[in-house]
Amino acid sequence: MLGVGVLLVCAAVATFAPVAAVAPVEAAPVRAGAAGSVEYTVLLTSTGDAAVRAAGEAAVRAAGGQVTRENAAVGALVAQAPATGFVERVTAADAVFGAARARPVGSTVAVPGVAPELAGVPAPAQEGPAQEEGPSGLDPLDTKLWGHTMIEAAAARSVEPGDRRVQVGVLDSGIDATHPDIAPNFDAELSRNFVTDVPQDSTGADLDGPCEFAGCVDPVGHDDSGHGTHVAGIVAAAADGAGLSGVAPGVRLVNIRGGQDAGLLFLQPVVDALTYGADVGLDVINMSFYVDPWLYNCLDNPADPPEARIEQRTTVEAVGRALEYAHARGVTLVGSLGNNHEDLGTPRADRSSPDYPAAAAYPRTIDNATCLSLPVEGPHVLGVSAVGPSGVKADYSNYGLEQTALAAPGGWLQDGFGTPDFQRVENLVLSTYPRSALVAKGAVDAAGAVTPVGTAGGVLRSCGPGGCGYYAYLQGTSMASPQVSGVAALVVSAFGTPDPLHPGTLTMPPDEVERVLLRSATPTPCPAPVVSYVREGRSPEFDAPCTGDAKANGHYGRGIVDALAAVTEDPTRE
């Protein structure tokens, strides 16, 4: 979980039915079962082939497991099986592509190296009861959203505020549907939770804490972490005269939860969330997470033991199939590049994987040709880097000429070096946050007042006709990705057509959405000279050589996303 009471900091995720195709049902447990069994994803060699499906189930039984459910869209069987030896045994069958133990695919973690304390840093002013409207018809806290100014979100709203027939899926830790800036746009009917809380994992560790609801399954409008709610508010917080507004305040938010309370994302919930979102006709899916336990999933890394190689190949294939499935059904996929201050085209040695369970990591040399950061390096995903208020790439943000499609405001505490803005909490991104999570972390008291700890951590309260909402300053590529998802939703709102498969909604081919986003972005050339972050207190490892030109480069891709230009773009122009 993210810490509050100091600086709230967030990363990209960091930061993965009975036997039938996945349906809109709640999650099944991911925990040790009888006789020490654990859950596995068993990926078949093909989808839609009854003979392969039968042979795969037979292979699971022969390897000592039992199939409990499946996702037919990607050819994945979910099985309970012994904790050791199962992966290699079941993968020996001709019908099985590979298998992976239920362990994280993604996580929401703190940005590495950002100082958590704000000693001596000016705290944001506290807000009282909101007026009916903020300045120029905006919400009261919109004046604090420097990112809206950078991407012309407020100006775009006068042209296209977002259509209720457009739906954005948030694949994350959940969404707090009780937040007054989330509730007006939250679609409870379509939202699903594909995660079961794990009070104790197969290693005996306390993963998510005590279960709060029956069956350890949180309601679809619940978020213990806060990460998903923050992301959702950036996309589509309501423009209602109170609190703040999102980039696309008129569209609907759909929670497709794939993340544990602890911030980890397991493979099967991620795959299930993606294919479910495609089946119900979501227009955009935001993925602010990066793949764990492997910082990079490699196809055949000599440093990895045989089971680890099989599991990583399985993860690459399963996530790839799910992304292809979603793209083919009209979903624009947006992902954060990650917060490891790394050129994904020339990655450093990986010394942090696997990061689950604890103390399992070992050093690995990473080959960019065969090792992928997922989901952002998966098919059809628009990778987003993070910039600070100055427009410079944030020191923590990953980048890469091949991987970066667009840049967007993600926040950067260290921006403005040499000026009064340096290390100001307002350099971060303000968005919605669950009151319950802030109370649990001591940032808000039982009566609802923001405590001194919360003030130091960048927590605000704003009240209006719908009640009092809470807001937190965070930074990370997790905050940049939903800015692009919001603009993508505006593009579908402006240029989409009625969806014949899902009456009452709009649709637009994702390749066309991507063309509009890339073509309308503000071209931003590589900085000259090379950006060095040493003066801000970073090591030389953070220095970020930028390759490319103003049309496309490793820091900004095709440029900083521009909401106004996107909704006034001619979508038919080649």
CA dist 231 and 212 (Å) reads: 23
HSE of 479, CA atoms in CB hemisphere, 13 A? 35
Average pLDDT in the 255-262 region?
Answer: 92
pLDDT of residue 136: 59
Residue 71, pLDDT above cutoff 90: yes
Domain at 135-567, CATH class: alpha beta
Domain ranges within the chain, ordered by starting residue: 34-101, 135-567
pLDDT of residue 123: 53
Residue 11: band (very low, low, confident or very high) from pLDDT cuts 50, 70, 90 = very low
Residue 529: band (very low, low, confident or very high) from pLDDT cuts 50, 70, 90 = confident
The CA angle 448-182-440, to the nearest 5 degrees, is 35
- What are the strands, taking DSSP E only, across 7-131? 38-44, 66-71, 76-81, 96-101, 104-107
pLDDT of residue 196: 87
pLDDT of residue 381: 98
pTM value is 0.91
Q: Are strands 252-257 and 290-291 parallel, antiparallel or unpaired?
A: unpaired
CA dist 22 and 279 (Å) reads: 10
The two domains 34-101 and 135-567 share their CATH topology (first three levels equal): no
Give tens-digit pLDDT for 372-405: 999 999 999 999 999 999 999 999 999 999 999 9
Residue 2: band (very low, low, confident or very high) from pLDDT cuts 50, 70, 90 = very low
| Enzyme catalytic residues | 172, 227, 478
Give tens-digit pLDDT for 148-198: 999 999 999 999 999 999 999 999 999 999 999 999 999 999 999 999 888
Average pLDDT in the 133-139 region?
Answer: 64
Average pLDDT in the 469-479 region?
Answer: 96
pLDDT of residue 28: 39
**CATH dotted code for 34-101:** 3.30.70
Lowest model confidence (mean pLDDT) among 153-167, 246-260, 517-531? 517-531
Owner of token pair 């807000």: 127
